[in-house]
């Protein structure tokens, strides 16, 4: 029984370490009007999302995939910063609008093009065909993925990802290296490590950049109440922690 329990505990620990994240745009504000825009937000796993030449389609839109979706115009991009790395990335895509221009999707990792989909949407008229994309990236350090639409308008949705590899138990503390001592903040933020830090709001905008040292404090009374993300590299590991400003 003891051996079975140990095995069960190990499986549960591995599953929790190898967690997944997802983004389906359901909590994003649909775009009003017909103009394309830049969209920025912080998603699950402290990912930072930046969309260019894009729209958030409301549920029920004929070009959406499931509920709300992101629509990108020609040469529009979705850039995702994974501060703690990424294993496998999945998403769905489909032709938007009715033009006969062939569309493709290009995926780049840290500025290097790594994959291009086959062409789709090259016949005139609407198409309801939904394509599934999956690609193994498997980088454990801070990684930026850029997804670029070429040709013409394309809808993307239902993103999901896994962590890079499976951590050994001995690596868990390194993965979760502490940076901020007090994650519920009044006017002072306390740090447990030396680092160059950035504080981002939940729209992904950098609102503060500072160099801090171990056991020092940072005055943050000027920050508005709400949730923020503090990012840095500590002992060679990308670290991100959510804080709540009271």
pLDDT tens readout for residues 26-57: 999 999 999 999 999 999 999 999 999 999 99
Which whole-number Å values give the CA distances from 95 to 63, 125, 126, 129, 219, in the listed order? 8, 10, 8, 8, 49
Task: Please check whether residues 153 and 205 belong to one and the same domain.
Answer: no
CATH number, domain with residue 154? 2.60.120.200
Q: Domain range spanning residue 229?
A: 184-245
Dihedrals phi, psi of 244, to nearest 5 degrees:
-115, 120
User: Quick check: is 170 in a domain?
Assistant: no
Report angle CA 169, 173, 177 to the nearest 5 degrees.
Answer: 155
User: Quick check: is 8 in a domain?
Assistant: no
Check whether 229 has a pLDDT greater than 60: yes
Decide if 38 contacts 76 (C-beta within 8 A).
no
pLDDT tens readout for residues 82-112: 998 998 899 999 999 999 999 999 999 999 8
User: Quick check: is 179 in a domain?
Assistant: no
Task: Please check whether residues 26 and 96 belong to one and the same domain.
Answer: yes
What pLDDT, on a 0 to 100 scale, did the predictor assign at position 12? Answer: 37
Secondary structure element (H or E) that encloses residue 202, with its range: none
Flag whether the pTM goes above 0.85. Answer: no
Instruction: Kindly state the greatest CA–CA separation across the chain.
Output: 64
Task: Please check whether residues 114 and 65 belong to one and the same domain.
Answer: yes
CATH number, domain with residue 209? 2.60.40.3080
**Structure tokens belonging to residue 228:** 């923020």
* Ramachandran quadrant class, 111 (left: phi over 0; alpha: psi -120 to 50; beta: rest): left
- How many domains does the chain fold into? 2
Closest CA to 165 of 1, 23, 17: 17
């Amino acid at each position: 029984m003891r051996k079975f329990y140990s095995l069960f505990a190990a499986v549960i620990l591995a599953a929790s370490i190898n967690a997944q994240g997802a983004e389906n745009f359901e909590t994003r504000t649909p775009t009003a009007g017909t103009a394309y825009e830049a969209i920025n937000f912080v998603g699950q796993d402290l990912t930072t999302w930046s969309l260019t030449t894009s729209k958030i389609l409301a549920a029920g839109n004929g070009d959406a995939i499931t509920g709300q979706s992101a629509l990108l115009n020609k040469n529009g991009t979705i850039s995702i910063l994974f501060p703690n790395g990424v294993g496998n990335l999945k998403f769905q895509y489909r032709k938007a609008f009715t033009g006969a221009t062939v569309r493709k999707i290009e995926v780049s990792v840290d500025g290097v093009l790594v994959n291009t989909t086959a062409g789709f949407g090259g016949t005139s008229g609407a198409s309801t065909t939904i394509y599934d994309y999956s690609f193994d990236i498997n980088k454990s350090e801070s990684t930026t993925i850029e997804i670029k639409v070429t040709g013409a308008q394309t809808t993307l949705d239902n993103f999901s990802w896994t962590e890079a590899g499976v951590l050994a138990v001995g690596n868990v503390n390194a993965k979760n290296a502490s940076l901020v001592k007090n994650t519920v903040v009044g006017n002072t933020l306390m740090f447990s490590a030396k680092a160059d830090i950035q504080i981002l709001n939940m729209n992904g905008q950098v609102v503060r950049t500072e160099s801090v040292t171990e056991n020092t404090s940072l005055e943050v009374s000027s920050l508005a109440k709400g949730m923020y993300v503090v990012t840095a590299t500590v002992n060679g590991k990308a670290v991100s922690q959510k804080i709540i400003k009271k």
